[in-house]
Amino acid sequence: MLSLRFMQGEIVMTIDHLDARLVALLAAEPRIGVLECSRRLNVARGTVQARLDRMAEKGVITGYGPDIDPAALGFDVTAFVTLHIRQVAGHVPVADQLALIPEVLEVHTITGGGDMLCRVVARSNADLQRVIDLIVDVQGVVRTESVIALDTPVPYRTLPLVRAAGG
């Protein structure tokens, strides 16, 4: 399957200050609706609706959660695992197998010493070993290196980026 970005070609959307404020508002209080947004931003309801539709259409807004905290489900341990794979078969079959492991939250192919980087979670350090074993067992995976995330002083966020992009 082609990636979304490729399908969109080089289309890049520029957002203005109102877009940025709108996203920031929704990020802060996601349960408010279009009408409430228009009141807070002092614009007409149709404007908010048009902006949201446009950002959704252009792919800037890809969805609206819900955001899940794995730690609250008992998956306290986060680790980043670098994979070295046998090159003959390519990345795709490896990625397909990794996608079958629920604890694998994301997978990237990367430059540098490793071939792939994945973020995984586990219920404990001992459980992490189990997850890593699952990964090592994937056909084509030769070796792995893991680093455990001890703390996350800056959790994943895009708001500052939106503000920077939107003036």
Partner DNA sequence: TGATTCGGTGGACAATATGCTCAGTCTTCG
Partner DNA sequence: CGAAGACTGAGCATATTGTCCACCGAATCA
* Strand-pair partners of 97: none
61 binds DNA (CB under 7 A): no
Query: What is the Cα–Cα distance from 65 to 75, expressed in whole angstroms?
Result: 19
Nearest partner of 136 among 160, 118, 111, 163, judged by Cα? 118
127 binds a second copy (CB under 8 A): no
Query: What is the Cα–Cα distance from 24 to 28, expressed in whole angstroms?
Result: 6
What residue 72 binds from a second copy, DNA, none (CB within 5 to 8 A, per partner kind)?
a second copy
- Nearer to DNA by Cβ, of 33 and 90: the residue is 33
- Nearer to a second copy by Cβ, of 23 and 141: the residue is 23
Site for a second copy in 7-46 (CB under 8 A): 8, 11-15, 23, 26-27, 30-31
Among 17, 108, 130, 143, binds a second copy (CB under 8 A): 108
Angle between helices 17-28 and 34-41 (to 10 degrees): 120
Among 9, 42, 62, 126, binds a second copy (CB under 8 A): 62
| Distance in Å from the first CA to the final CA of the chain | 35
Collapsed DSSP state (helix, strand, coil) of residue 64 = coil
44 binds DNA (CB under 7 A): yes
Site for a second copy in 66-85 (CB under 8 A): 66-76, 78, 80
